[in-house]
Each structure stands twice: as structure tokens, then as C-alpha cells.
Amino acid sequence: MKLVVAIVQDQDALAVLNALARQGLRATKLASTGGFLREGNTTVLVGVEEDAVDRVLDILRSTGSVRREPVPPAEGGSGEEARPAEVLVGGATVFVLDVVRYAKF
Ligand code: 2BA
């Protein structure tokens, strides 16, 4: 079994969850915050058998939008010179992890 951890933009989260549900895939949505922009994003956890991982990746690939986002000033001001004025955010940042054990009681 695999655990797909996907970080998506809040505005894409509903479409991702709907597409997963349509394919009978179970998911958990977590509210998260990006470490760089310090803005809200959504982390989606999807536990699936190995043969379904590509279906999950296809959904994430097709539902994520990319947008340009201004970078706010750094708290404390340090490293300000190195920060870009804006960055591209989205569609999905994805990690696929091996699940050592899965149980549901
Ligand atoms: P944030 O950390 O808020 O990053 C937002 C966007 O800022 C990133 O978009 C990237 O374009 C840019 N960025 C991030 N760190 C940067 C840096 N040190 N220097 C210059 N630009 C930087 P995405 O790559 O699409 O990432 C979207 C969100 O996915 C991230 O929000 C973070 O929450 C998560 N993420 C991305 N890569 C990750 C990783 N390796 N580990 C954990 N979370 C990650």
C-alpha cells in the first residue's frame, strides 16, 4: 500500500476531492500552511493500493492550476535580498510513501 501526500492550492482542493471520490478513492483533507509564503494551502492524504497510484497522480495532474503569487516581506527582515518578488504556486506537490502497515479498527 502507498500513501500519496499532495499539497494543493485551496482553490483546487474541492475539485481534487470530487475527482478522487468519483473514482472510489478515499482521501483526507488537512488545512496546511506553506513554509515560504505562510499562506493557507491544502494537504490531501490518499491511501491506495500500488496499482491505483497512477490514477491518483493523473487526477492531481489534471486538476491543479498554477498561479503567480507576490511574496510578502520576510518576518524579521533577514534574507530579504534573496527573496523573489513573486513566485509560481501550484498545481500539486506530491510525495508517494510506502505504508508499512495499514489497519482500520
Ligand atoms: P510555500 O512554501 O508557501 O511555497 C510557495 C511557492 O513559493 C512555491 O510553490 C515555490 O514556487 C516558491 N518557493 C518556495 N520556497 C522557495 C524558496 N526557498 N525560494 C524561492 N521560492 C520558493 P510550489 O513549489 O508550488 O509549492 C507549493 C507549496 O507546496 C509550498 O508552499 C509548500 O507548502 C509545499 N511544498 C513544496 N515543496 C515542498 C517540499 N519539498 N516539502 C514540503 N512541502 C513542500
The CATH number of residue 26's host domain is 3.30.70.120
Q: What is the pLDDT of residue 55?
A: 97
Tell me, rounded to whole angstroms, the distance of Cα 29 from its chain centroid. Answer: 10
- Helix (H), strand (E) at residue 21: helix 10-22
Q: What is the pLDDT of residue 51?
A: 97
The alpha carbon torsion through 104, 16, 62, 21 (nearest 10 deg) reads 60
84 Cβ inside 6 Å of ligand 1: yes
Q: Pick the residue whose CA is nearest to atom 7 on ligand 1.
A: 87
How many distinct structural domains can be found in the chain? 1
Q: What is the pLDDT of residue 103?
A: 96
- Closest atom of ligand 1 to 38 CA is 3
**Does residue 104 sit within a domain?**
no
**Does residue 77 sit within a domain?**
no
**Does residue 28 sit within a domain?**
yes
Q: What is the pLDDT of residue 90?
A: 79
- Helix (H), strand (E) at residue 86: strand 86-90
35 Cβ inside 6 Å of ligand 1: yes
| Start-to-end Cα distance in the chain | 17
Q: Select from 89, 95, 97 the residue to mutate for testing ligand 1; criterion: most ligand atoms less than 8 Å from CB.
A: 89
Q: What is the pLDDT of residue 80?
A: 59
Angle formed by the axes of helices 53-63 and 10-22, nearest 10°: 140
**Does residue 79 sit within a domain?**
no
Each of the 105 residues of the chain gets a pLDDT tens digit; together they read: 999 999 999 999 999 999 999 999 999 999 999 999 999 999 999 999 999 999 999 999 998 788 898 898 877 766 556 788 899 887 899 999 999 999 999
Range of the domain at 52: 2-72+85-98
Q: What is the pLDDT of residue 78?
A: 61
**Does residue 18 sit within a domain?**
yes
